[in-house]
Amino acid sequence: MIMVIGRILSYLLCTVTVTVYASASNGMDISAIETHVNWRHLDRTSCGRTRYDDSKERIIDGDEAKIGQFPWLARIGVQMETVTLFSCAGSLLNRYYVLSAAHCGESHNVVRLGEHDIITKEDCEDDVCVPPVQDINIEQHYFFGYNTSSHLRDFQIILLQRPAIYNDFVKPVCLPYGHVLTKNFIGEAVKIAGWGYTDTKTLDLPEVLMYIVAPVLHRSTCNAVYKHPLDETQFCIGFKHERKDSCSGDSGAPVTKYMKASEKRQHFQIAIVSYGLTVCGNGPAVYTNVLYYMPLILDQIVKS
């Protein structure tokens, strides 16, 4: 049997306790999403923008991210007296909420924003230095009926105890709206970033934020590999043989697509890192489809 593994770092084992139950419909009611009252808590004008979007600087698709390339990326961990252990990732939705994977569990108590290099206290690049990271305690984890067997509903929303402070290196990602909600992403290239293992055999962890560009595949590609067939609430993303993949430690990280929904292009989160093969890079991985769960996500965003 092909073994699968969630993308959480193995040194932290979490037991998922469902805090909030809810159900999604069999299909998306686009009008209900577009007119949802809680959009007032999300800034659709300035979300999903980075310091590189309006510049002429070209970022080559590769491995090491530039400082501020993914300002919505969050590290999620357990803060103890002398050390903080990070094992999952997430995305900042607004000043109070972070979206992550349900299988990361509820043992985490802190979210770190504005990180790039996990070794240095101050991140600098091309004479630009980043403000100190923001470590914010977690007030509540919200779950939506995660199935540990099929990995369905593998998402959670984290409420922060205090608001994040926005700057060029801490900004929210865009949630899908407009025609993004109905787009067929099969064959499209998307970006996945995180601090997860770069090699599961040697257990090498990167010092800086890494990312890959990978294609969205037909679900049948993953169905040929995994025990549980994927449904419309999941994406199959990755490569068959190129050794590029998300990995342990990337759980909950956002999958983003840079595209236009209104007047300008923005970075939209379309998926969440869920699970993959035990040996990362041996095939595509499975991701939670954010578009499908938009009604539940919006229901939970009640402050800004």
Closest CA to 246 of 65, 5, 54: 5
Helices of type H across the chain: 30-34, 219-223, 294-300
Backbone angles phi, psi at 160, to 5 degrees: -85, 150
Q: Annotated catalytic residue: which of 36, 103, 141, 151?
A: 103
Q: How far apart are CA 175 and CA 214, in angstroms?
A: 20
Q: Annotated catalytic residue: which of 87, 91, 246, 251?
A: 251
Q: Annotated catalytic residue: which of 123, 154, 245, 250?
A: 154
Active site residue 127: no
Greatest extent of the chain over all pairs of C-alpha atoms, in Å:
51
DSSP state letters, 144-198: ----TTT-TT--EEEEESSPPPPBTTB-PPBPP-GGGGG---TT-EEEEEE---S
Active site residue 25: no
Active site residue 251: yes
List, by residue number, the catalytic residues.
103, 154, 251
